[in-house]
Structure 1
Amino acid sequence: MRWSLAVFPLLLLACSPPTPKTTDLQGWTKVPLRYATFFELWSKGSERLVLVHGHGGVADTAGVYHLSPNGAFAGTPFTALRLSLPVDRIALLSTTHVPYLAAVGARSTMVATAFAGEVRDSVVQAALKAGEVKDLGSSEALDRETLIALRPDVVLVYPFSGQGATALKGAGLSVVQVSEYLEEHPLGRAEWLRFFGVLTGHEREADSLFTGIAERYEALAVLAEQDSLRPTVFFGSQWNGQWSVPPGNSYMARLIADAGGRYVFADRTASGNIDLDMETLLSTLDTVDNWGMIAAVDGYMFPRHITNNDPRFTRLKVVQQFHFFGGNTRTADLFGQALLEPDRVLRDLRYCFGDAYRWKPWEDDHPYFTPLRPEPVSMPYEPEEVPLDQ
């Protein structure tokens, strides 16, 4: 589990700072962001002001942070948490943020993380094993005693996620909200590199990294616009018999579109996943060219991990033609490193259902998504070994 969506709105809304007015920002210059919409960055000389937004967007300010080198604050324009730059000791309540810190060269700032068993970064894994980075348990059962004893400079949490921000603040800890998961555009999530760069004193490195990511992604998206085919794509998940799909205004829908696919629910907007009844599911699947899913599978992922061998799917064209693709969270860091490599994710998806796949089937160099092979048929008996000289 990467993060919790357990919500305690009254508890955390009471702690949310008021949304700053334009008049409050006189003397500050807004730093343009290209894709991210859930944080703002303002500058005044060497000082930085960061506004983090919650589910309501710019009208919903979850946190305001005034950052200044060596704590030399010239005056905070409104209620904001003051942080001395660079932040040297960071505790995480989500492993999703590990790749961001690693990418900007700030692994050494991590002193603790929740969900330590889900960390994919080998350097941080070694630090956890050596006790240099502490395990905080889960966000639902947080080891607060260890966290408080560590005295981190900041604790990174999600807005309205039930991670006990009020209790942490009451213990004298500086809590910083992070809402990259609300970004609908893949490059919006990647641009949060700039947030982590400012926080850790690696602003230039982060800006340079993001520029390269955006250029590669945009180049692939332009190629997809020139594809001769735009195949239809269904992408969904199933939990306890209930199928759901991401809406048309989602991260996954944008990836599919930019990879050259036509997402079948592109015209449906919502704030969360859309549940489908079986009739709608079957009628939709009967029209699509490709069927994809993210799953957690030990070993290889096969079509049965998507269909669960449900006989109602057997007559579908997409099933009979084996037009499946998948992402396996056991082997690919789809909720971590992939957020910083949207260009590679896009490349994988183009390969799964774009023009290129017709010419190079079963290519293996696709770490995030890949076409699913038909499952091998097991031999009913052990073949007799025949000597080579006969």
Structure 2
Amino acid sequence: MKNNFFIILSLIIVFSFIECKKDKFVEDTELNVGKSTIRYAKGFSIKKYKGFSVLKITNPWPKANKSYTYVLKEKTGIIPDSLINFTTINVPIKSVIVTSTTHIPSLELLGVTNSLIGFPNLNFVSSSKTRARIEAKKVKEIGVEQNLNTEVILDLNPDLIIGFGIDNNNPSYDNLEKSGLKVIFNGDWNEQSPLGKAEWIKFFGALYGLDKKAITVFNQIEKDYNSTVSLAKNATKRPIILCGEMYENVWYTPRGNSWSSLFLKDAKTNYLWSNTTGTGSLSLPFETVLDKAQKAEYWFQGSFSSLAEMQNSNIHYNQFDAFKNKKIYSFSGKKGKTGGILFYELAGNRPDLVLKDIIKIVHPELLPDYEMFFYSKLE
């Protein structure tokens, strides 16, 4: 009887020790070991541990009221009990469906374009490399983002679907998850700082087991961007800038803290609405814009490809000095074979090129040999 008592006591001690060790492991893993390498982006974090990473998406769309946590499990990784209720994704992934053209440049920069097997609205894709895969029937059409073709997607059976949305109301994703497929949200489009948006390449790096490569690519973009910001400080003037255009009797122009406005700030310009707060766009009457910006030296917009097209759209555009002096620049002229605008696809990943374009326009003496990549002058 005494022997039985000691045996039971010993087992209790052993199991207690195991539980303590397990809890200690979880605590150390979650709180002390993992450190996020994200420095600019506000919408996600990655904490890497031995055998797995924890990816947290905190701002997938404007005013998001919840975050999404995913565990990225390597082949030999062991997931602690404290994380087993989160969605687990086996990495590196081998096949993927993405749902925004902004996702495609990261695949190309990481050298994993061949993993892409499906995309909605294929005509929107601009990249020549990805278009070649589309033409070779290696990337399937999966419908439109708000109404995905679940039958086609289920047949493709990707390792992962990378979704995006303007809110948490897309039943297609819910149905796909219920069918057993893995869905993860990407909020790169909702990121406001130029380098923050570009840093989402690390999101893709984590999914493909290419964390180091993603960091290397981003570090070079960061270096180029910051050196260009430093170059702009040598400019001797701050030219006055007008942005946007009319749509259904309303003029839309970027707010002062928006992604577009921050480029103009870093390029050392005087954007006329730079002091407004918030992100997204201001909605203004034409008269307000004309009164404030009639004498603006440069005009940036993205809807027209010629001055004649602008004139036909709104005869009052010719009242602005920038129109009269032909100092209007647009990114709408650079398109893929099927009409997708390159800027919408690539600019988020390459803020260094966007900034150089703007500086070439407003401070041409600082970049005498540079050729604009996205923007062109309207004729």
More moved, 100-109 vs 268-277: 268-277
**CA positional deviation for 1:161:** 5.8
Aligned-partner Cα distance in 2 for 1:53–1:69: 23
- SS of alignment partner, residue 257 of structure 1: helix
CA root-mean-square deviation: 2.6
Letter in 2 for 1:67: L
Deviations along 1:229-285, one digit per CA (max 9) or x if unpaired, are 111111113323321111111110011111221211111123431111121121122
**CA positional deviation for 1:311:** 4.0
- SS of alignment partner, residue 137 of structure 2: coil
TM-score between both structures, scaled by the size of structure 1: 0.81
More moved, 117-126 vs 78-87: 117-126
Larger relative helix fraction: 2
Aligned-partner Cα distance in 2 for 1:242–1:59: 27
**CA positional deviation for 1:307:** 4.8
In the other structure, the counterpart of 2:327 is 323
**CA positional deviation for 1:155:** 0.7
Q: 82, 89, 101: which one pairs with 1:77?
A: 82
**CA positional deviation for 1:67:** 0.8
Is the 1:95–1:116 Cα contact (8 Å) retained in structure 2? no
Identical pairs, percent: 22
In the other structure, the counterpart of 1:255 is 263
TM-score between both structures, scaled by the size of structure 2: 0.83
In the other structure, the counterpart of 2:69 is 64
In the other structure, the counterpart of 1:31 is 36
User: In the alignment, does 2:228 pair up with 1:220?
Assistant: yes
Aligned-partner Cα distance in 2 for 1:307–1:36: 39
- SS of alignment partner, residue 91 of structure 1: strand
| Mapping for residues 261-340 of structure 1, pairs under 5 Å | 261-295=269-303, 301-308=305-312, 310-328=314-332, 330-331=334-335, 333-340=342-349
Aligned-partner Cα distance in 2 for 1:153–1:85: 9
| Mapping for residues 44-55 of structure 1, pairs under 5 Å | 44-54=49-59
Aligned-partner Cα distance in 2 for 1:267–1:76: 49
Deviations along 1:304-349, one digit per CA (max 9) or x if unpaired, are 4445464434343323222211111553511112222211111111
In the other structure, the counterpart of 2:361 is 352
- SS of alignment partner, residue 221 of structure 1: helix
Letter in 2 for 1:97: H
Aligned-partner Cα distance in 2 for 1:184–1:311: 33
Is the 1:113–1:133 Cα contact (8 Å) retained in structure 2? yes
**CA positional deviation for 1:76:** 5.2
Is the 2:241–2:269 Cα contact (8 Å) retained in structure 1? yes
Aligned-partner Cα distance in 2 for 1:234–1:76: 55
Aligned-partner Cα distance in 2 for 1:23–1:263: 48
Letter in 2 for 1:368: F
More moved, 93-102 vs 313-322: 313-322
Is the 1:71–1:85 Cα contact (8 Å) retained in structure 2? no
For structure 2, the residue ranges without an aligned partner over 5 or more in a row are 1-26, 336-340
Letter in 2 for 1:26: L
Letter in 1 for 2:103: H
In the other structure, the counterpart of 1:378 is none
- SS of alignment partner, residue 265 of structure 2: helix
More moved, 73-82 vs 186-195: 73-82
- SS of alignment partner, residue 66 of structure 1: strand
Is the 1:37–1:57 Cα contact (8 Å) retained in structure 2? no
In the other structure, the counterpart of 2:164 is 158
Is the 1:66–1:76 Cα contact (8 Å) retained in structure 2? no
Q: 14, 27, 46: which one pairs with 1:41?
A: 46
Letter in 2 for 1:184: Q
Q: 191, 197, 206: which one pairs with 1:198?
A: 206
In the other structure, the counterpart of 2:151 is 145
Is the 1:30–1:42 Cα contact (8 Å) retained in structure 2? yes
**CA positional deviation for 1:148:** 1.1
Aligned-partner Cα distance in 1 for 2:226–2:309: 32
| Mapping for residues 223-234 of structure 1, pairs under 5 Å | 223-234=231-242
Q: 95, 98, 101: which one pairs with 2:104?
A: 98
Which of structures 1 and 2 has the bigger CA Rg? Answer: 2
More moved, 149-158 vs 280-289: 280-289
Is the 2:333–2:376 Cα contact (8 Å) retained in structure 1? no
User: In the alignment, does 2:117 pair up with 1:111?
Assistant: yes
Deviations along 1:170-213, one digit per CA (max 9) or x if unpaired, are 12111100001111111111111111011111111111000000
Aligned-partner Cα distance in 1 for 2:157–2:272: 49
Say how many residue pairs are matched: 345
